[in-house]
Structures are given as C-alpha cells and as structure tokens.
Amino acid sequence: SAVISQKPSRDICQRGTSLTIQCQVDSQVTMMFWYRQQPGQSLTLIATANQGSEATYESGFVIDKFPISRPNLTFSTLTVSNMSPEDSSIYLCSVEVLSGYGYTFGSGTRLTVV
C-alpha cells in the first residue's frame, strides 16, 4: 500500500482567506481523490485529480471554490478559497495504488474557519 503525507494536519483560518492543502504520495498513482468530511458526517467526494488534465468535480463542488493542482504522479494540492465558517471540515486525499485492494488515505486536514 502507499504512504501519503498530508499537510497541514490542522489550521484555523480567517473567513475570506484561502488555504492550500498538500498531499505527497510515495508512489506514482494515476488518480488522486479529494474528500470533505463535515463535522459528525461521512465523507463526500469533492473531485478526482488526474495528472496532466483538469480535475473532475462532483455535483455541488466547483473549481473556483476548490481549485486543484496535479503537477505530477505523486503530488496534488487542494485549495479552499474565500473561506466561510461553513467550510470548516476535515479534508482528505486518497489514492488507489492497486485496483481492487482498497484505497489509502492521508491523515486529514482539520480546517476551522472563524
């Protein structure tokens, strides 16, 4: 399985600002996935990031609010833009290294917007 380094682990941000979250994987992967987990809830997929192409966003999520970069096969960033308190959540990245053997998740970024 892969090892993912996700940063930062937590942050407290002022509303109206932006935060960029990074995920570094120790192996090359085609797709990386970004999830949001609102307080006390399950995970919701934000977007799928492929290297060399624009990310594919799920319904309810837009590129202007959650721009994603995928410069190579081991790295991706998710930016939460123009934050409001409603963006307070845990954000997680995930990869599937070998099809059919489950996914590996980063340790998450706990974001609080004040």
The residues of the shown chain that bind other proteins, judged by CB under 8 A, are: 1, 4, 6, 31, 33, 37, 41-45, 48, 90, 92, 94, 96, 99-108, 110
Q: Measured from the CB atom, is 23 or 82 closer to other proteins?
A: 23
Q: Measured from the CB atom, is 63 or 103 closer to other proteins?
A: 103
Separation CA 61–CA 71 (nearest Å):
21
State the nearest-atom distance from the C-beta of 112 to other proteins, in Å.
12
Q: Measured from the CB atom, is 13 or 43 closer to other proteins?
A: 43
DSSP state string for 15-80 = TT--EEEEEEESS--SEEEEEEE-TTS-EEEEEEEETTSPPEEPTT--TTTS-EEEEETTEEEEEE
